Amino acid sequence: MTDTVLTRVANRTGVITLDRPKALNSLSLDMVRSLTAILRAWEHDAGIDAVVITSTSEKALCAGGDIRFFHEMGHAGPMGGSALLEDFFTEEYALNHLIHFYPKPYIAMMDGVVMGGGMGIAQGGPDCGLRIVTERSKVAMPEVNIGLFPDVGGSHFLSHAPGQLGQYLGLTGLTIGAADAIYVGLADLFVPGEKMGALMALVDSTPGGELPAAIRAFAAPFAGQAGASELQAQRGVIDAHFGAASVAGVMASLARDENPFAQKALKAMRQRSPLMMCVTRELLLRGAALDVADCLRMERNLVRRNFEHGEVLEGVRALVIDKDNAPKWNPATLEEVSAEMVERFFEPVWPEYAHPLRHLA
C-alpha cells in the first residue's frame, strides 16, 4: 500500500481517501496498485457492503495520471523502454474495468478537479454506482491538450453520451461543471460543497447496504441547486457542428457560427493536437459499438502507438515540463493529417492472445 491512499471501514462501508494534495491526487503506479488491491480485497469481504472514494482536499478528487512520470519514462526508449510505463497503463485500465463492474455500490465524491484518470476512477458501473458533484467540481477529458486521447474508458463513456456531446468533450477537452456533468451522464447527484462534511458523516452513520438510498435522499433537496446546464442549452449547436463527417468539417462548421459558445470550442480545438483530435474522433466512433472491455483494449493499443509516435511527450513537455505552451505538434496542421496516419494508431500492437488486457471480460 501507499501512504497516498488511505482506507478505513465505517459501518460496513469501505472508505478510500486519496491523499496526494500537492499533485491534486494525480495517480502514480503505486496508487493504481493500491486501489486495485483494496478493491479486490473488499470485493470478497463479507464485512463490506459499499465503497466510497473521496479525497483529503476539496480541490480535487483526482486530476488524472501522473504526466511527469509519463514524460520521464517516455524518454527512456520506445514506449519508454520501460516496463513501468507499460505496467501503468495496463494496470490503470484494468482498474477502470474493475470499478466499472464492481459488484458492490461504488460511490465517488467528485468534489473539485476530476479529469482524465480521475474520471476513470469515478465512473463506476451504472447498476450500483453513484457519482456526486459539487459547485467546485471541474470535470473534463482534456487529453487532446497534451497530445493524448480520451482513455481510461473514455472511448466508452464519452461515445455513449447523448447526441454529439461526447465528441464535443473529447475534441475540445474543455472543462464542465456540476450541472453539465449530470446532463451528459457523467455524474448523478449534486450536493453543495458546504454539505460534504455532513454527507461524509452520513457515510459513517449509515449501514453500507442502505447507503446509496440514504445518499439519494440526502441529495434530493439540492437537486435544483446545481444550476442550469450550458450544454443542454447549447445542445442543438453542439449536435449540428460536431456531427460533421470529419474534424476539419467540425472546425469549418464552427468557424461559420458567430455564437460565442461555438467560437470558444473552435478556439480550444485550434490549440489541440491535430492528429490526436482525428484519432479521438475515430476512437469515439468505434467505441460506440464496443463494450467496456473492448474499449479498454482498444485504448491500450492506442496508448502504445501514441508513445511510439511521441505526440504525448511533446504535449507534456510544452504544458508541464518547459511550460512554454507552444507544442510542436506532428503534423502541425489538420490539413497534413492523413487517413493512413489515423489508421496507424488502430493497427494491432499484439495478437489477441498476447494483449495485456486479454483477460478482461
pLDDT tens column, 32-63: 999 999 999 999 999 999 999 999 999 999 99
Beta strands in the chain (DSSP E): 5-10, 13-18, 50-55, 60-62, 106-110, 113-115, 129-133, 138-140, 189-190
CA 351, 355, 359, 361 dihedral sign is negative
| Angle, alpha carbons 216-221-223 (nearest 5°) | 75
Contact 102, 173 (CB under 8 A): no
pLDDT of amino acid 80: 45
Q: Does domain 5-354 have CATH number 3.90.226.10?
A: yes
Taking phi first (over 0 means left), then psi (-120 to 50 degrees means alpha), and beta for anything else, what does residue 147 get? left
Contact 104, 48 (CB under 8 A): yes
Q: Is 154 exposed, middle or buried (0-12, 13-18, 19+ CB in 10 A)?
A: buried
Contact 352, 358 (CB under 8 A): yes
Residue with cell 485500465: 93
Q: How many CB atoms within 10 Å of residue 5?
A: 23
Spell out the domain ranges in the chain: 5-354
Q: Where are the alpha helices (DSSP H) in 44-116?
A: 67-74, 83-100
Task: Give how far the C-alpha of residue 333 lies from the chain's centroid of Cα atoms, to the nearest Å.
Answer: 26
Amino acid residing at 316: V
> What single-letter DSSP state applies at residue 319?
I
The DSSP-derived string for 121-179 is TT---TTTEEEEE-TT-EEE--GGGGT----TTHHHHTTTSSTTHHHHHHHH---B-HH
pLDDT of amino acid 73: 79
- pTM for this model (two decimals): 0.95
Which residue from 152, 125, 126 is spatially nearest to 141, judged by alpha carbons? 152
Contact 199, 211 (CB under 8 A): no
d(CA 63, CA 119): 9
Coil, helix or strand at residue 329: coil
Residues of the chain with pLDDT under 50: 79-80
Contact 209, 74 (CB under 8 A): no
Amino acid residing at 109: M
pLDDT of amino acid 1: 58
Contact 115, 140 (CB under 8 A): yes
d(CA 152, CA 361): 16
Rounded to the nearest 5°, which phi and psi values hold at 129?
Answer: -100, 155
Query: Could you tell me the end-to-end alpha-carbon distance of the chain, in angstroms, rounded to an integer?
Result: 26
d(CA 301, CA 93): 11
Residues noted as catalytic: 65, 117, 143, 151
Written as nine digits, the cell of 8 is: 478505513
